Structure 1
Amino acid sequence: MNEYELKVYDEVEDWKRKLTRRSGMMKRLSKKAQVKVNEYIPDKVHQMMTDSIKAMVKATLFGSQLTTNHNQALGLTLEEKDELVRKKISTYQKTAIVEGAGTGAGGILLGLADFPLLLSIEMKFLFETAAIYGFNTKEYEERLFILHVFQLAFSSDEIRRQTLEDIEKWESRKEQLVEMDWRKFQQEYRDYIDLAKMLQLVPGIGAFVGAYANNNILKTLGETAMNAYRLRLLQKAPEL
């Protein structure tokens, strides 16, 4: 073990503490309002949304699997892998900014197209990150882990703590976590996205809001993915 791994272990511990901290009052109030709105939506509509997002995610998982270079980080140290992931985060942020600005500038119709486009960017990034840290996404359990990382990035306090616990204990829990709770998955993500991108459909400011929101969304996903995979690689404190 080396000094860099010890530094990373401390960074991951700090990230976990930040992640389990209670959200601010405005975010909690917004979430309560979203939950209340969701209660008025008929079950048939919820099921339609769930089925739609499930199909969309599975399609992006398949596409990302085909286009990811699974051998891009062979022989690299953890420090070199971290640096490569940081470069990927920057690249995907720029892609998401262009996509958000383009669909935001287009008003309501193009704004609606933003959802699947952003989702495909996010999933592609997660596959790249998994490959860099040496995890084989051809295995079902690794694709399931990707979905848990995604959920960890975009969920409310309670779901976030529960998902972090699953990720921390992945090796012992993965056999029980056979399938995602797709309704919870789509609802948490939709609520997060709605809050972040509320003004994107407004003509005139949509481009700015779309670009700004997408940049922050990829930044959040990048930090979450990087630390989730570091957590798996460094289960206990390294010894110098």
Structure 2
Amino acid sequence: MSTYDQHVFDELKKWEIEMTKRPTLWNKATKTVQTKINEKIPQKVHDVVTASIKQMIKATLLGSEYTTRKTSQFQGSLQEQDEKLKERLAFYKKTAAFEGAGTGAGGFLLGLADFPLLLGIKMKFLFEAASIYGLDVKDYRERIFILHVFRLAFSDPHKRKEAFEKVVFWKETIDEFPAHPGAINQINWQELQQDYRDHIDLIKMLQMVPGLGALIGVYANYHFLEDLGEVAQNCFRWRVLMEQNHE
């Protein structure tokens, strides 16, 4: 293991502690508040968000939109892969911020449109990130891995340890899925949608407030991509190092 790889390994062990720690009192209080907020949000808003999440994720697993673009596997050391990801993440953060500013300034209807647009940006980033770390995103089973990375990034703190273990013990996880698109029926859509919505609902609702929408849209979308980038990088780093150790 190179000096850089050892440094990454040490960072991943610290990240493991963060991902597996028990929910705090703040997490529990936030969950209670979020549940009450969800009860106040108009049903049509819930319907738009739920439908966009489910359709986008299904398109990710079954469609060709993401598997026919930028799927060439990057050749390089782990350090070079990290540098390449940093470069591409900067691009996606700016793209998300720009999109958030535009929809945030447009009021309620454009605010609703932000949900599927932002989700699309996140998915495009995850597919490109996977390719950077050498995954073949045309392989259906690797797309299942990408979905688990997405789930971990936006998981409920009470379920984060389970989501983390699904990623780091990937060989055991993927054995639960048949190697064909029918595995999509084994995904708990309700849980996945609700966790993602709970993660973003509050700040995205504020994006629809007149006069504040554009500013909040820029801030929220930029940081959503930043958080996703950190989780994705660590998940893919983990895969790279674990597979190297088993060679």
Q: 1:213 aligns with which of 200, 216, 220?
A: 220
CA distance in structure 2 between the partners assigned to 1:237 and 1:154 by the alignment? 28
Shift of 1:160: 1.3
Going from structure 1 to structure 2, the CA distance change for 1:176 and 1:35 (only over 3 Å counts) comes to farther
CA distance in structure 1 between the partners assigned to 2:57 and 2:7 by the alignment? 35
SS of the residue 1:64 aligns to: coil
Kindly indicate whether the alpha-carbon contact (under 8 Å) linking 1:127 and 1:137 is maintained by their aligned counterparts in 2: yes
Provide the identity percentage.
Answer: 48
Structure 1 residue 11 corresponds to structure 2 residue 11:
yes
- The residue number in structure 2 matching 1:194 is 201
User: Where does 1:58-77 land on structure 2 (aligned, <5 Å)?
Assistant: 58-60=58-60, 62=63, 63-71=65-73, 73-74=74-75, 76-77=76-77
**CA-to-partner distance for each residue in 1:69-109, whole Å, 9 max, x for gaps?**
423x12x1110001000111111000000001110011101
CA distance in structure 2 between the partners assigned to 1:212 and 1:186 by the alignment? 23
Shift of 1:132: 0.6
CA distance in structure 2 between the partners assigned to 1:98 and 1:46 by the alignment? 24
CA distance in structure 2 between the partners assigned to 1:164 and 1:12 by the alignment? 12
Q: 1:230 aligns with which of 232, 237, 241?
A: 237
SS of the residue 1:157 aligns to: coil
Write the letter of the residue equivalent to 1:172: E
TM-score (norm. length: structure 1): 0.88
Structure 1 residue 181 corresponds to structure 2 residue 181:
no
Kindly indicate whether the alpha-carbon contact (under 8 Å) linking 1:60 and 1:119 is maintained by their aligned counterparts in 2: no
- Mean Cα deviation higher: 203-212 or 171-180: 171-180
Kindly indicate whether the alpha-carbon contact (under 8 Å) linking 1:167 and 1:228 is maintained by their aligned counterparts in 2: yes
Shift of 1:32: 2.1
Going from structure 1 to structure 2, the CA distance change for 1:99 and 1:14 (only over 3 Å counts) comes to same
CA RMSD of aligned residues (A): 2.5
- Mean Cα deviation higher: 45-54 or 85-94: 45-54
Kindly indicate whether the alpha-carbon contact (under 8 Å) linking 1:50 and 1:182 is maintained by their aligned counterparts in 2: no
Shift of 1:58: 2.4
- The residue number in structure 1 matching 2:147 is 147
- In the comparison of the two structures, how many residue pairs are matched? 233
Which of structures 1 and 2 has the larger relative contact order (alpha carbons within 8 angstroms, sep 6+)? 1
Where in structure 2 are there 5+ consecutive unaligned residues? 178-182
